[in-house]
Amino acid sequence: MSIIQILASCKMQSFRTEIENPVVQKDILELEQKIHEFHNGKLDEEKFRSLRLARGVYGQRQQGVQMIRIKLPYGKVTSKQLHRIADVSDEYSTGRLHITTRQDLQIHYVDLNRTPQLWAELEKDNVTLREACGNTVRNVTASETAGIDINEPFDVSPYADTLFKYFLRNPISQEMGRKFKVSFSASDADTGLSYMHDLGFIAKLQDNKRGFKVMLGGGLGSQPRHADVLFEFLPTDKIIPLMDGVVRVFDRYGERKSRAKARMKFLIKDVGLEGFKALLEEEQEAVPYKTYPIDVASYPKVKIVKVEAPKVSIANTKDFETWKSTNIVPQKQKGYVAIGIKVLLGDFYTDKARLLADLVQNYAAGELRLSLRQNILIPFVKKELVPFFYSELAKLGFVEAGYNKALDITACPGTDTCNLGIASSTGIAQELERIIKAEYPHYISNPDVLIKISGCMNACGQHNMANIGFQGMSVRTKDKLVAPALQVLLGGGNTGNGKGRFADKVVKVPSKRGPEALRLILNDYDTNGKELSFADYYQEKGQMYFYDFLKHLTDVDNLTQEDFIDWGNTERYKKEIGIGECAGVVIDLIATLLFESQEKIKNAEEAFGEEKWAASIYYAYSSMVNTAKAMLTAEKTKVNTHHSIIEDFDQIFVQPGRIELENDFKETVLQIKENEPTKKFAKRYLNNAEVFLSKVEKLRKKELVEA
């Protein structure tokens, strides 16, 4: 029985009681409805992809199943929520949970038709899928040590939480040209990696006033870009208005057709930092809040369980001491520490998840933090409980030493499940970890060497900001045979306070030679690195030094049969790349676009009725631009940005007299930048949008008849 049928039946009251938020109910019902429309051929496949991505439903490499991304702001998950996620994973998936490099959780192999019910189950404990994928503001990430960091000027969690809530379902960030990523760093160590985000915030104090250093326009991918400093210090009550304006600029001027050029970093490159600031200034009238004080006092207080330390006996004290030296994180609260759990490749199962949830509920603060390195941090553990936690975690297989150390390799799912994967990232990661354990045990406690792996250029494994990075590729022999390969990158790293280095591409080697490349690099570092950090060692030696001693591994004239089988596989390698869904960029049919415009008008009317003037205005704006886009698409005119759509519609339709408007389209639609979001303006602007859509629909019918 579908959710629509459930709501129409006698069980309707029960469902509504379990999900009290009517906005969430509407979201889930809409997903259910769109799935039916898609199956019945009433909804274009590309448009449906865009809609489901914005609801955390992502197509897998395997046909007929979906990956579900669960959005967990700044990686915080309570014991109760983890139990809920585990139950849902068992019911709808395979029982495996995957931690991402953006502090989300993913479950795989889900039937599309069951996704609305899955979402409804999660929402019972305030867990959302909304905007976990697609061209939206993605999960807001933060230092996993936020709130306990001994060096933090203040806890950034309440600020990250408020920003997440402000932009969730916000009309200004629902259909951008590409995804938008935000991070918060607890201290100048910049463990939130601000320099590689669209917007990055680093906690600062100035004259005892809280604020943030703000970084703008960073990114990874095939063309990594270091973010610019937008503000050295921005008071906390300005961060929401700032991002509101930044998103508006990105939505209007950002590229929409070419996915490769659609991120914020390319807009900054095109207009320059000063040009972007000028565009940002033009949006200030439209931003609904000039200041947005964040109520830190209302943020949930930590509730620590008071319990006596159970007596335990540690069988192997040497292993225990090694584990303590690498996995215990100091905490600013006296008498407490945090415990880091190294999770191989970010994968663990629901049986362990439940036991872990119970452990922190009964003996800590009832919450966990997922980290950017795909690990788990347990905060607020009493120091006297550490032996007990070690004993209990050992039962779960969660006491492997090397948390956030060289042995702790980050890898995306790669060819296991991702459409864009070119070569295995998980398979090579497992082999490299095995080699470090067996041959380089002194690296288990080394916090300096950071190894990251991605299955393709998109850098979900963040390979191009690592000290040692590997990127999945392929190589072709003279006989045109194709084998899996790895691009070796060296010299990247986070240097703190908004600064970092991106790794250089050094050589491309067949995948099966990846371990030998790592051995050569580590052997040389041990011999010649002296007391230098790996990043400084690389800078001292230079790119060509490493190219020279790795070059022999690039030869593809002597490949064996084994070289044509990728890590973790038994069958011969085939380069198979599907349609990437990371951004959900789509080209829509004209009729679909005009139908969307009608829906946006309805959204504007609903928001107006709820006295949400800013939201109503932006829905009306989106309707007008979308309507213009439909007509320009019919003319085979490029519709790369909102800005170009607005100008081209005037040139092609208004100026030649094909459609009569009271004013130029540009003048009409860009009133949004010139007026405060008041009730009076919202009503007038909505009327303009309704009149415009009506005129365009009449023109479209007329031209179709005459065609």
pLDDT exceeds cutoff 60 at 25: yes
Q: For the chain, what percent of residues have pLDDT higher than 90?
A: 76
pLDDT in tens, 284-298: 999 999 999 999 999
Question: What pLDDT does 576 receive?
Answer: 63
Q: Which residues pair with 97 in a beta bridge?
A: 348
**Fold for the domain defined by 3-123:** Sulfite Reductase Hemoprotein; domain 2 (3.90.480)
Give the containing element (helix H, strand E) for 378: strand 376-382
Pair type for strands 141-142 and 182-185: parallel
Same fold, 141-298 and 410-564: yes
Is residue 6 very low, low, confident or very high in pLDDT (cuts 50, 70, 90)? very low
pLDDT in tens, 664-701: 999 999 999 999 999 999 999 999 999 999 999 999 98
Specify the residue for token string 């070119």: 422
Q: What is the residue type of 104?
A: D
* Two structure tokens written together for 564: 């044509």
Query: Which CATH class for the 590-706 domain?
Result: mainly alpha
Pair type for strands 451-454 and 410-411: parallel
Mark out the alpha helices in 124-209 (DSSP H runs).
157-167
Question: What pLDDT does 12 receive?
Answer: 32
Q: pTM score, two decimals?
A: 0.90
* Two structure tokens written together for 189: 């160590």
Question: Which residues have a Cβ under 8 Å from the Cβ of 20 and sit 6 or more positions away?
Answer: none
Average pLDDT across the chain, whole number: 91
What distance separates the 2 farthest-apart alpha carbons in the chain? 87
Is residue 605 very low, low, confident or very high in pLDDT (cuts 50, 70, 90)? very high
pLDDT in tens, 486-541: 999 999 999 999 999 999 999 999 999 999 999 999 999 999 998 899 999 999 99
The helix/strand/coil state of 431 is helix
Cβ contact 653:641 at 8 Å: no
Q: How far is CA 592 from CA 184, 630, 659, 687, in A?
A: 38, 9, 21, 22
Rounded-to-integer distance, Cα 13 and Cα 124, Å: 15
Q: What is the residue type of 457?
A: M
Going by C-alpha positions, the residue among 276, 305, 256, 292 that lies closest to residue 199 is 276
Domain boundaries along the sequence of the chain: 3-123, 141-298, 317-395, 410-564, 590-706
Rounded-to-integer distance, Cα 210 and Cα 301, Å: 19
The correct CATH number of 410-564 out of 3.30.413.10, 1.20.1420.30, 1.10.1040.10, 3.40.50.150 is: 3.30.413.10
Domain 317-395 indexed as CATH 3.30.70.3340: yes
Distance linking the first and last C-alpha atoms of the chain? 45
List the CATH code of the domain at 141-298.
3.30.413.10
Give the containing element (helix H, strand E) for 627: helix 613-634
Cα 665 to its chain centre, rounded Å, is 35
Going by C-alpha positions, the residue among 506, 597, 509, 497 that lies closest to residue 545 is 506
Cβ contact 305:312 at 8 Å: no
Q: Which residue has the higher pLDDT, 446 or 549?
A: 549
Going by C-alpha positions, the residue among 447, 451, 416 that lies closest to residue 432 is 451
pLDDT in tens, 363-373: 999 999 999 99
Cβ contact 475:434 at 8 Å: no
